[in-house]
Amino acid sequence: MPKRFLSLWFCHLTTDRLAIRHPELRGKPFVLAGNERGRAIVQASSREAFARGIRPGRAVADARAIFPDIRVFPDRPGWGKRLLYRLAEWCLRYTPVSAADPPSGLMLDISGCPHLWGGESAYLRDLVSALEGKGYRVRAAIADTIGAAWALARYGEQGGIAEVGGQREALLPLPPSALRLESRTLEGLEKLGFRQIRQFINLPAATLRRRFGEGLLFRLGQALGREEEAFQPVQPRVPYEEQLPCLEPIRTAKGIEIALQKLLDTLCQRLSREGKGLRKAVFKGLRVDGKTVEITIGTGRASHNPLHLFRLFALKIPLLEPALGIELFSLEGLLVEKVQLPQEQLWHRSGDPAAVAELLDRIGAKLGSGRMHRFLPQERHWPEHSVRAALSFDEKPDTSWPDSVRPLHLLPVPEPITVMVPLPDYPPVHFKHKGRLVRVVRADGPERIEQEWWLQTGPPRDYYCVEDTEGGRYWLFRLGLYGKGEPQWFLHGYFS
Amino acid sequence: MKGNSDKIDRLRQLKQEIMALEGYLPPKGQQPDSRLQLGPLHAAFPGGAFPLAANHEFISHTPSEAAATQGFLAVLLGMLLQKGGFCLWLGTRPQVFPPALKRFGVAPERVVFVNVPREKDLLWTLEQALRCEALVAVVGEIRELGFSESQRLQLAVERSRVTGFVHRHQPRSLHAVACATRWKVAPVPTLMPTGMPGLGFPVWKVGLIKVRNGRPGDWQLQWDGQGFQEVFREEKRQAITQNRRNYA
């Protein structure tokens, strides 16, 4: 498929923007001025000022002489460039690949887009009228190459469209400056009387190179499509992205759901063909007022099940604020992974792991991730460190679970108790926990658990399993040893 | 005489129909599920089989009772997970220490723990989990459960055939809920052969307070790592007095 490019030229970018912001300036001559070498120089002039001959580069004093009532505003350097980037972002509703083309243009790669608007001329008209509706004066052109589109937008007729492969004919009547040449080359061409491209386009390459250098041939090649030319899109292209422009701005939750469903269906079809699934995705809506709203989801394992992904997004749809309406929806797969085949080894029967993973994704989407844990053993001494959370849904334990007796209900923080102990190293006869006296009838222990000397030093813990008169079973420990300071006693858990 | 047996058959048939209408489906072929070896408890259940695909409510008041209930639940889970599968343990904060599950026959990595800080979210999560057909069982540690909420949970399990266990620790009110059973599990002193020090296998007083279409009862069961053994009162009383004497 041939590439098609659209070049936009904002004839009075910054002044138009100022007039949009201050409607009282509309239709009045005014200029933006900045200081250069101690003189106030016109940087940009409005349409009306331009018509009276006040061009950028003249001194403000001259402009005042031509038109005494002219209003002068200070120019902010870099403002025009920022404005261009904002406009390039706005143009994303027309094509996914748009770029700022400083100082005053935009370049859009529109390959495969215009048919959605019913052809290139309708597309061009729609784009230009949308921008003119905002208050910008623009000229636009479509061609096969960046160079030809650039030339036609600035030097051709308004709304010029070069047919596929027709850039050569379109360029013939244009002046040489349409080729984006250096001023030295332009002067040379002028001196030799080359006023139109048709006068030198058929000259042998060797002659042109000798006279004007490689630059002219290179630019000519770019305009004709012999040389490759690339540009930096304002938004890097996401490989897994689907877009859905809307005829009317969408404002209802139902409408958003339908858009999401459509996008998910197309993206998931593509992903399942490639054997891939989404781990992280963002659903964006470009609003009429120029803002972007988005919701993001993540999954525990790669999935290309549109129903499941839709449920995850559906929990967050109420967070999207449509305001005056959303014009363009896009769905991007930020993180795409290979879909894993079901792990039969780990979950032998029933329990389809994909279905469980989907359930966990749904819970995670509602509650926030970090709430669900599978635990795996960890080779550490102290009980509270002997488990760790599994990193992924399919991770298997790398060591076996310890066989030692552990309470089912472990207190997150050991609670201090006061005890009565008949002899050192004996279990207590009774202990008091939170004001309740517990008489110990039977006991097991001690099980000594040392500090991990490679991490920290300190006294060991001696654990006892004890049982009271009612049958309640507790896990107590003594921190420290009798004879070496005063040991402390703690309750650390309840046995079942 | 013949007429009498006909009547009995007819009555049994009607009972089955009523049970089916109430949402309780008897297991296939009237055979209790081979995974669940609950010993003396089977007689208490309708049709002699533990009601799967239903909700069960467990009540506990003290931390020891909560731990005993969790132990009993772990045993049930271990039996249900014998043929593989997967279960969820939901609660408002982490309560179960995974390595201890091994003692009750559960592979701890088969259990996914979910912490839900708010009770309201917990109910939502519980319902979502009970609707997931891929799970074997779901344990929900939830304090309050209203009647209508329990009905929602009941509808969820009827469709998905998942078994739900609701553990209510220190509930404020104990009104009726739409669960197949209500249990209360409390620890009782362990048994050791005469003269031996230390603690034995865990022993629980398992109280089946309510059971739909069954007979409530009270048992003292010991879990020895393989199965349940019923502990009889006289023997136990003797053992306890003996223990006390040994310890003193």
Average pLDDT over residues A193-220: 89
Domain A241-338: which topology? Dna Ligase; domain 1 (3.30.1490)
Average pLDDT over every residue of B89-98: 86
pLDDT at residue number A466: 92
Report the Cα A131 to chain-centroid distance in Å: 26
Q: Under an 8 A CB cutoff, do A473 and B114 touch?
A: no
Whether pLDDT at B237 is above 70: no
pLDDT range class, residue B89, cuts 50, 70, 90: very high
* CATH fold for the domain made of A1-234: Alpha-Beta Plaits (3.30.70)
Q: Are A394 and A336 in contact (CB under 8 A)?
A: no
Q: How far apart are CA B152 and CA B143, in angstroms?
A: 17
- Inform me whether the pLDDT recorded for B115 exceeds 70: yes
Residue type present at position A319: L
Interface test with A, best of B97, B170, B246 (most A CBs within 10 A): B97
| Residue range A430-444: mean pLDDT, rounded | 91
Least confident range from A448-452, B99-103, B186-190, B241-245: namely B241-245
Report the percent of chain B where pLDDT is more than 70.
Answer: 88
Establish whether the linkage from the previous residue to A103 is cis, with ω within 30° of 0. Answer: yes
- A355 interaction partners in chain B (CB closer than 8 Å): 132-134
pLDDT at residue number B30: 43
- For residues A458 and B60, the model is more confident at B60
pLDDT tens digits along A129-174:
999 998 898 999 999 999 999 999 999 887 788 888 888 888 899 9
- What is the domain partition of chain A in residue ranges? 1-234, 241-338, 373-403, 409-495
Residue B58 has a pLDDT of: 95
- In whole angstroms, give the CA distance from residue A316 to residue A367: 11
DSSP A135-165: T--EEEEEESSHHHHHHHHHHS-TTEEPPTT
Select the more confidently predicted residue: B134 or B245.
B134
Does A383 contact B at CB distance below 8 Å?
Answer: yes
**Mean pLDDT within A353-377:** 80
> Does B80 score more than 80 pLDDT?
yes
Token look-up 């469980």 returns A356
**How many other C-beta atoms can be found within 10 angstroms of the C-beta atom of residue B45?**
21
Angle at the Cα of A194 (from A193 to A196), degrees rounded to 5? 135
Q: What percent of chain A has pLDDT over 70?
A: 96
Position B134 scores a pLDDT of 86
Name the residue type at position B98.
P
Per-residue pLDDT tens over the stretch A90-106:
888 888 888 988 888 99
Q: SS3 for A343? A: coil
CB contact under 8 A, B99 and A376: no
How close B136 gets to chain A, by Cα (Å)? 7
Test the B interface: residue of A408, A444, A476 with most B CBs within 10 Å: A408
**Whether the Cβ atoms of residue B168 and residue B196 lie closer than 8 Å to each other:** no
Q: Is A347 on the interface with B (CB under 8 A)?
A: yes
Using CA atoms, how far apart are residues B126 and B118, in angstroms rounded to an integer? 12
Mean pLDDT of chain B: 84
Contact A156, A150 (CB under 8 A): no
Alpha helices, H only, A23-157:
47-51, 60-66, 79-90, 120-134, 146-155
d(CA A76, CA B44): 86
How many beta carbons lie within 10 A of that of residue A463, not counting itself? 23
Q: What pLDDT was estimated at residue A356? A: 81
B62·A383 Cβ contact <8 A: no
pLDDT digits (tens, 9 = 90+) for A264-323: 999 988 888 888 888 889 999 988 888 888 898 888 778 888 888 888 888 888 888 888
Q: In whole angstroms, how far apart are CA A219 and each of A2, A148, A206, A214, A229?
A: 20, 10, 15, 9, 10
Give every CB contact of residue A471 below 8 A, 6+ residues apart in sequence.
B64, B186, B187, B188, B189, B190, B203, B205
**What pLDDT score does A348 carry?**
41
Q: Are A243 and A329 in contact (CB under 8 A)?
A: yes
Residue A341: per-residue pLDDT? 55
Task: Report d(CA B17, CA B25) in Å as an integer.
Answer: 9
Contact A161, A142 (CB under 8 A): yes
Closest to A348 (Cβ–Cβ): which among B71, B84, B109? B84
Task: Check if the beta carbon of residue B101 is closer than 8 Å to that of residue B223.
Answer: no
A479: DSSP letter: E
- Are the C-beta atoms of residues A447 and A462 closer than 8 Å to each other? yes
Chain B contact present for A371, CB below 8 A: yes
3-class DSSP state for residue A473?
strand
DSSP bridge pairs for A142: A6, A161
Beta bridge partners of A493: A410, A475
Least confident of A66-70, A235-239, A366-370: A235-239
**Which residues of chain A neighbour B93 with C-beta distances below 8 Å?**
412
Sort out which chain B residues have CB atoms less than 8 A from A410's CB and list them: 97, 100
Contacts of B184 in chain A (CB under 8 A): none
The per-residue pLDDT for range B10-50, each reduced to its tens digit, is 988 888 788 777 666 655 444 456 677 787 888 888 777 88
Instruction: Note the pLDDT of residue A38.
Output: 85
For residue B243, list chain A residues with Cβ-Cβ distance below 8 A: 441-442
Spatial CA neighbour of B219 closest among B189, B168, B180, B229: B229
Q: For an interface test with A, which of B34, B35, B64, B243 has the most A Cβ atoms less than 10 Å from its Cβ?
A: B64
pLDDT at A2: 77
* Gap between the Cα atoms of A135 and B49, Å rounded: 78
**R_g over Cα of chain A:** 37
The pair of structure tokens assigned to B87 is 């279960």
Strands (E), A312-435: 326-338, 372-377, 387-389, 409-420, 430-433
Residue B235 pLDDT more than 90?
A: no
Question: Cβ separation of B97 and A362 shorter than 8 Å?
Answer: no
Tens-digit pLDDT profile for residues A28-75: 888 889 888 888 888 888 888 888 888 888 888 888 888 888 888 988
Sign of CA dihedral B131, B135, B136, B141: negative
Looking at residue A462, its amino acid is D
Q: What distance in Å separates the CA atoms of residue B215 and residue B61, rounded to the nearest whole number?
A: 24
Question: How confident is residue B61, by pLDDT bands cut at 50, 70 and 90?
Answer: very high
Contact list in A for residue B136 (CB cut-off 8 A) is: 350-351
Residue-averaged pLDDT of chain A: 86
Domain B50-247 is of which CATH architecture? 3-Layer(aba) Sandwich (3.40)
The residues, ordered by sequence, that sit 6+ positions from B33 with a Cβ below 8 Å of its Cβ are B27, B49, B50, B52
Listed by start position, the domains of chain B span: 50-247
